[in-house]
Structure 1
């Protein structure tokens, strides 16, 4: 079962159906084992799975009392977030359609850690699963300024956070982790 971001009146009903879910944050190009591990834990916990993509090119303008979030783009000429969400949905559908698990896809906007935390609160999630970033100088600089989503989630809410490595192990004898 897949849906996209719910319409205003449907959100409360869908959130009620997703109580106790496992949330997995995904970005296009992320290794498939991030989703596989989230699926494994959702099955172990007997919980639905919520595949989340956070559009960082948009920001929250206001939130209605019923929880519906209104957003606006940072750049009016860019709609990259919609294309990324579509790619994440396709990846999730290909991986999950035959798994026999209740799942849905949601697109959130704004700061990834805060957006995922808010959704986790709304559905009383049991677990949040995120992947690590790719190694590289550019990624380490970005993380220096924005912070690690996993670390920010771990320090700003009470749910367990499972961090899945990229899969590219750095040998113990290698002194420099980022070789760019």
Structure 2
């Protein structure tokens, strides 16, 4: 599909990470169910870079850090797979798991192109000084996606603050 602003027909792509609250996956599954399309759950390992990507879905990646073991074939985290299965059980929404490597925004955008995704669903980072600083310096995945591809991005808030509270990056604790 070209970058003409239209949405695809290949389903909903959701970014999943270990320890992530189930709200992101839950909202993505609800959207896929409402649209009657499949859900693709993608986990991106930012500590590795993509070497090759095969038609059968196999991803070969190497670590950026030369001290890490050189596992060639990326495998989906079994604990994360179990968490996803628990959330998806009984929903009737077809889903697949994809393990990716490299820059999360780039990897998700590339997969969205490959599958002709209608939407990309991501979560915000949970509140906290470390997460806020990391997001400030590295940029959020949602912001990078919004500037690097044409599909709508749905951002699921994980720890919203009320209108009267300071945002995490406004007044960091001393």
TM-score (norm 1): 0.78
Please name the residue that 1:25 is paired with: 15
Do residues 156 (structure 1) and 161 (structure 2) align?
Answer: no
SS, match of residue 117 in structure 1? helix
Q: Is the 8 A contact 1:34 1:164 kept in 2?
A: yes
- Count of aligned residue pairs for this structure pair: 159
Aligned to 2:41: 51
Report 1:1-180 matches (<5 A).
20-62=10-52, 69-75=59-65, 76-77=68-69, 85-166=77-158, 168-177=159-168, 180=173
Where does structure 1 lack aligned partners over 5 or more consecutive residues? 1-18
- The one-character-per-residue Cα deviations of 1:33-84 (angstroms, maximum 9, x if unpaired) are 11110011001111100011101121123457998653102232487xx797
Are the equivalent residues in 2 in contact too, given 1:27–1:84 (CA < 8 A)? no
Which has the higher mean CA deviation after the structures are superposed, 58-67 or 143-152?
58-67
| Structure 2: gaps (5+ residues) | 1-8
Call closer, same or farther: CA 1:28–1:67 in 2, change over 3 Å.
closer
Give the Cα separation in 2 of the matches to 1:125 and 1:140: 29
Distance in 2 (alpha carbons) for counterparts of 1:140 and 1:46: 35
- More moved, 130-139 vs 63-72: 63-72
Shift of 1:163: 0.1
Q: In structure 1, what is the Cα distance between the partners aligned to 2:63 and 2:44?
A: 13
Higher helix proportion, which one? 1
Tell me the TM-score normalised to structure 2 length: 0.81
Counterpart contact for 1:127–1:160, Cα < 8 Å: yes
Conserved? CA contact 2:125–2:131, under 8 Å: yes
Preserved CA contact (<8 Å) 2:132 2:168: no
